[in-house]
Amino acid sequence: MEIRNIAIIAHVDHGKTTLVDAMLRQAKALGKEEGERILDSFDLERERGITILAKNTAVVWKGVKINIVDTPGHADFGGEVERALSLVEGVLLLVDAAEGPMPQTRFVLRKALEAGLKPIVVLNKVDKKDARPDEVLSLTFDLMVELGATDEQLDFPYLYAVGREGRAWRETPREDLSELFQAILEHIPPPQAAEGPFQLRVANLDHSPYLGRVVVGRVARGRVRKGETVAILKAEGQLQAKVAAVYTHRGLERLEVEEATPGDIVALAGLEGAEIGDTVADLEAPEALPPLRVDEPTVALTLTPNTSPFAGREGRYVTGQKLKERLEKELRTNVALQVLELSPETFELRGRGELHLAVLLETMRREGYEFSVGQPRVLFKDGLEPYERLTVEVPEERLGPVMEALGRRRAEMVHMEVGSRVRAEFLLPARALFGFRSLFLSLTGGEGLLGHTFHGYGPPAGPIETRTTGSAVAMEAGVATAYSLHRLQERVRFFIQPGTEVYVGMIVGEHVRENDLEVNVTTAKKLTNIRAAGSDENIRLIPPKPLSLEEALEFLAEDELLEVTPKSLRLRKKILDPSARKRAVAR
């Protein structure tokens, strides 16, 4: 059977996963009717509406097997994108017909062009009222030229689509995706497998409770059968393992086959010891393929066991040893992550961005881990600091405050388009984005769109003020009362509500001024047997501001920690005792 290998790439929310849903249905690759966003099987993916992990599926169209890899659109998960692109010969580039190319479009497209892959452009969501497909097609061409596409890559086919309705066409609107499938068969080259003994580079890992470790990759050359012994070529040496089973993909399922054929994307079970980037090769002629190259991390944070007065109340895994074991497990599959053990119970996590690290922390939290994390910081390289390319799209009347805020964060505008909404691009230090997302949503009343991607390294930009408010810190342990919160709410935007248990040094809210404020939120109203006029009026509290894990990380100051448990997120000072904290500042 002929094979085509293709990855779907796009900016966040431009419709990749929805289009894959439609392709699976129309190719009749599903055994039963599934819900929407079939490939977003990870809980966090469904909740956030984004793809985090690259996934494999396959359909058969007119006797040709099409392996499809759905990739993340967010630059923070670039490690997943790079692994996915190592498996394919071509890409479907989805671009929103209204929004046009966005920061992550630039990121994923650059990776695909550098890998020499052939693109097919799909202008999606052409049914939008503000769709401008011809203009967006021109912008996409200009972007490819800017990114150094070859003449062959610039001669790309393009289609118009409404992915949600399962429709795509070249000239005349159609009710299905047949022209898209035909474009894949015509323009994506079949895999060119070299002659010689078996070779496969591991691009992903899975686990079977019955067969052990499962490795996923594309067969670079040769064939391998079930029961054969193969060599696993690692940077530090060579292992041997027996192939317990060979699987190929069809729809959402893995089908067991007798042998893996050249060019196909397959899963091999039973290869204990294999890691991402290793080469699985013929035992008699073991030759290694080049290792996967992944961009370096740009953001780091420190993770330690929880040491607050509430430590151990809510988590199952609370010790440094348990944290170490979990991080070592994560390193096997998360190729863009680096972990440094600074001391027996202190770990530095390095990743591609705040979201990359936040998703790992949220996953660990849901698995029952309890820990503390410090303020994120950027990683300098040879004295240079990382810069991001930021794109904002806002109503015209909201642009002024956004420009002012970005000016204070040393952002430089590089492009602007004015229409019904203003779209502007900036270059700014990566650390200037810490805490900016929540400020941006506030400045735009929730109407703004924001995206960013790594641009490169540049000279240090100097001091940047990313937070203009202080912390309200509990000075007494106990249970928060409505009476206390009511008295303080003019000066403090609270994160807690009445009945919340607090400890000394816990951050209970955001002080409206720049300095920290010590507050007592546990004071109860003194009761007397004398009734005074107006003393019994209702207490009206401003609703508390709940923080997500990313928002809490953005809020952190240098002397603060985020306490993460399966049930709670609590902000705290590193030094809990107020007197000791003042002495430390004085020094």
CA pair distance 205, 201, nearest whole angstrom: 11
Q: Return the percent helix, strand and coil in the chain, to nearest 5.
A: 25, 35, 40
pLDDT of 364 above 90: yes
CA pair distance 233, 287, nearest whole angstrom: 8
pLDDT of 69 above 90: no
Rounded to two decimals, the pTM is 0.75
Which amino acid belongs to residue 449?
L
The crossing angle, in degrees rounded to 10, of helices 436-443 and 399-408 is 160
CA pair distance 587, 583, nearest whole angstrom: 6
> pLDDT band at 185, cuts 50/70/90?
very high
User: In this prediction, what percent of the chain has a pLDDT beyond 70?
Assistant: 91
Output the six-digit token pair for 420: 């019904």
Structure confidence at residue 43 (pLDDT): 53
- Residue 482 in contact with residue 498, Cβ under 8 Å? yes
DSSP characters for 192-254? -PBSSS-EEE--EEEEETTTEEEEEEEEEES-EETT-EEEEEETTEEEEEE--EEEEEEBTEE
CA pair distance 123, 160, nearest whole angstrom: 5
Structure confidence at residue 530 (pLDDT): 56
Residue 506 exposed, middle or buried by CB count within 10 Å (0-12, 13-18, 19+): buried
Output the six-digit token pair for 567: 């049930």
Structure confidence at residue 215 (pLDDT): 86
Structure confidence at residue 536 (pLDDT): 44
pLDDT of 47 above 70: no
Residue 242's contacts (CB-CB under 8 Å, 6 or more residues apart) are 227, 228, 229, 230, 270
> pLDDT band at 531, cuts 50/70/90?
low
Output the six-digit token pair for 587: 């020094």
471 or 21, which is more confident?
A: 471
The gap from C-alpha 37 to its chain's centroid, in whole angstroms, comes to 17
11 or 66, which is more confident?
A: 66
pLDDT of 209 above 80: no
- Residue 510 in contact with residue 442, Cβ under 8 Å? no
Output the six-digit token pair for 176: 């299905």
Mean pLDDT of the chain: 84
Residue 556's contacts (CB-CB under 8 Å, 6 or more residues apart) are 374, 375, 376, 562, 571
Output the six-digit token pair for 115: 């890998």
> pLDDT band at 179, cuts 50/70/90?
very high
| CA torsion through residues 549, 102, 95, 204, sign | negative
φ/ψ of 23, rounded to 5, equals -65, -40
pLDDT of 45 above 70: no
Q: DSSP strand E in 12-63: where?
A: 55-61
pLDDT in tens, 213-225: 888 888 988 888 9
**Which of 170, 174, 214, 221 has its CA nearest to residue 193?**
221
SS3 494: strand
| CA torsion through residues 34, 35, 36, 38, sign | negative
pLDDT of 355 above 90: no
